[in-house]
């Protein structure tokens, strides 16, 4: 397995976020991103890094630009117009190894897409709409079930899954966490990467037999993001 990532550029200080009063430390974000990549390697992944995008503040959040299922990679149409320039380099990176399809109408961010088996749960959020969800289902040739997200930025801001628990953490079931950062964990087979902001979640997953790697991604939480946002798992 591989992980496609992109380190933050200096422009990351100007990323889209709900609390723009909180300054982002780009140097610290780069160090946290490097530690994140090391955690991915510790989980057995080959890390493929794209070049930083100096003119695209949110480009480190590569998850939003593509949904990859098996040999097929669907290039999304991000809900924020300022982010649509991020998809071209991701498409080029995936084209050599995947069948490329595109969402041509509507809006869809990869952070709103949770694939469980042959079903794609798609969050309806400020960044993803019904038309985009239908287009994604067509491109993936999968059943799509839409989920209202409410005030959260993305579906995966509030729910993720762990294969290690045999599908227990899916829509309509699983375990709950009282730590906001604990709702977003990165599933890598028998491993999970968990934010340092969710220590109780990490410990609970360990008691369930999950091998946990904890990473500090506070500068990315400041950009309204979580662990899954920073990679596309191939």
Catalytic residues: 154, 229
**CA separation for the pair 127, 132 (Å, rounded):** 10
Among 67, 83, 63, smallest CA distance to 75 is for: 67
* Residue count of the chain: 234
Q: Provide CB contacts within 8 A for 53, sequence distance 6+.
A: 6, 9, 11, 59, 85, 86, 89
**CA separation for the pair 110, 154 (Å, rounded):** 9
């Amino acid at each position: 397995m591989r992980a496609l990532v992109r380190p933050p550029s200096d422009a990351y200080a100007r990323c889209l976020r709900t609390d723009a009063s909180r300054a982002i430390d780009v140097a610290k974000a780069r160090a946290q991103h490097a530690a994140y990549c090391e955690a991915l390697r510790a989980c057995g992944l080959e890390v493929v890094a794209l070049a930083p995008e100096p003119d695209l503040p949110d480009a480190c959040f590569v998850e939003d630009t593509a949904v990859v299922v098996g040999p097929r990679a669907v290039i999304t149409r991000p809900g924020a117009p300022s982010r649509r320039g991020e998809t071209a380099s991701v498409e080029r990176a995936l084209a050599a190894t995947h069948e490329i399809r595109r969402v041509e109408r509507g809006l869809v961010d990869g952070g709103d897409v949770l694939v469980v088996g042959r079903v794609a749960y798609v969050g309806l959020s400020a960044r993803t709409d019904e038309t985009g969800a239908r287009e994604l289902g067509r491109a993936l040739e999968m059943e799509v079930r839409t989920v209202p997200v409410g005030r959260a930025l993305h579906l995966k801001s509030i729910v993720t899954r762990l294969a290690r628990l045999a599908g227990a953490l899916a829509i309509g079931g699983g375990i709950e966490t009282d730590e906001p950062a604990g709702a977003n964990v990165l599933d890598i087979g028998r491993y999970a990467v968990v934010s340092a902001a969710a220590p109780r979640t990490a410990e609970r997953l360990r008691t369930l037999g999950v091998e946990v790697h904890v990473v500090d991604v506070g500068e990315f939480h400041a950009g309204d993001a979580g662990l899954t946002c920073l990679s596309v798992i191939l």
